[in-house]
Amino acid sequence: MAINKLELAERLASIREKMHEENFNALIIYSDEYRSGNTTYFTDYKPINVIEESPQVIFVVEDADPVVMIGRLNAYAAKETIWIDDVRPIHEIDQHLDFIFKPIKSKKPKIGIIGDNLLPVKTFNSIKDNLSAAEFISCGEMLSEIRAIKSPAEIELMRKAAGINDYVLSEIIHKCKAGMTEVEVAAEAEYLGRKMGADIGSATVIMSGPNTNYPAWRPSQRKIQEGDFVMIDFNPSYEHYCNDSGFTILMPGSSDAKKKSVVSCHNIIKEIVPLIKPGTSSLTVYEYMLEKLEPLGYSDNFTPYVSGRRGVGHGVGLDVVEDPDLNSSLDFEIQPGMTLAIKLDLHNIESQGSRIEVVTEITEDGNIPMNKLILEESNDYSIL
């Protein structure tokens, strides 16, 4: 067990305390196998998609013992490994809801839902039909606030994931050659990560040439060409905890304009990361970047793309992308214990784009980068 039972029990006690503070009678905490953080946070079990779709849901009803429901095939392993005693298969949910909700059946309960953006209509309808008098309220921020502040055990696992990612990126830069396909580069990254004990936190992103102008892209059979940008965004996880770091390799034969953009982005990320401190506004990340980019003539390559989610970064933990979100409009106070990906994307550099990204831990008086490779190497490190 990566996170010990005592810490897992404390997490459950913490969310139950918040439930009572907000006058909820119960919480329904839902996640799926692709974005498992909401429930893995309490169970330390991450479902695997094997033939079945495998969600995981935790029912916390007043002061009763929690009940976990999970996909049928996953349930066999989950019953053996989850510290919570009551684990049931979710395909039989209608048979178990009377028992789960027995303490509140006679009331007009107020039910909080965490993960309602993922909760299937069919599952919700089963719950609603069983509690016809209930009021259902979305309350995902209740858990997001807890998950945003990492424990020492979480930080340790995230540092291991970051070390793996730094090694993978340091090797990929020597393996990436013109004539290789994007799929082949992805295979090299995933092989190296797996060999070091990592799981894959989210899909490996390898984009080359014109594909780099997309915000996301599945590795394709496109062959890398001379002068291409090749964007590497690899997301290994270690004992369920993720890292999200990457850079853009510039292939031989590139233009001076592309070289300038790569060197500039490496330099800017090195200047900005040390400035991120607790007690400051999250907007300073965007403002620092814009302040550095404008004199170089890159504001039009930057500002149109940072107003939405993950514009200049995001939280990282059990999920590769989790709250809080960093963009050009969301304002919150950066706090010690947060683990933030700091991301600088430029688009339309000769019809191509680049990315550089590192994860850092916010401390009491500053931050300690988890990813060190990009910050320690020269600004032209990824120019071949």
DSSP 113-158: EESTTT--HHHHHHHHHHTTT-EEEE-HHHHHHHHHS--HHHHHHH
Domains of the chain are 5-147 (3.40.350.10), 152-376 (3.90.230.10)
Cα–Cα distance, 363 to 152 (Å, whole number): 11
Q: Which string of b and e fits 278-315 if b means at least 16 CB within 10 Å? A: beeebbbbbebbbebbeeeebeebbbebbeeebbbbbb
- pLDDT at site 329: 87
- pLDDT at site 114: 99
Cα–Cα distance, 220 to 230 (Å, whole number): 12
| Longest CA–CA separation in the chain, Å | 73
Cα–Cα distance, 58 to 39 (Å, whole number): 7
**What tens digit of pLDDT does each residue of 111-122 get?**
999 999 999 999
Report helix, strand or coil for 163.
Answer: helix
- pLDDT at site 366: 97
- pLDDT at site 98: 97
Predicted TM-score (pTM) of this structure? 0.95
Contact predicate 225/209, CB 8 Å: yes
- pLDDT at site 199: 96
- pLDDT at site 303: 84
- pLDDT at site 209: 97
DSSP 268-311: HHHHHGGG--TTSBTHHHHHHHHHHHGGGT-HHHHGGGSSSTTS
- pLDDT at site 178: 98
- pLDDT at site 374: 97
Q: Supply 220's token pair.
A: 């394709």
Cα–Cα distance, 223 to 115 (Å, whole number): 39
Pick out the chain residues at pLDDT < 70. Answer: 1, 50-52, 308, 310
Contact predicate 57/90, CB 8 Å: yes
Q: Supply 324's token pair.
A: 């809080």
- pLDDT at site 309: 72
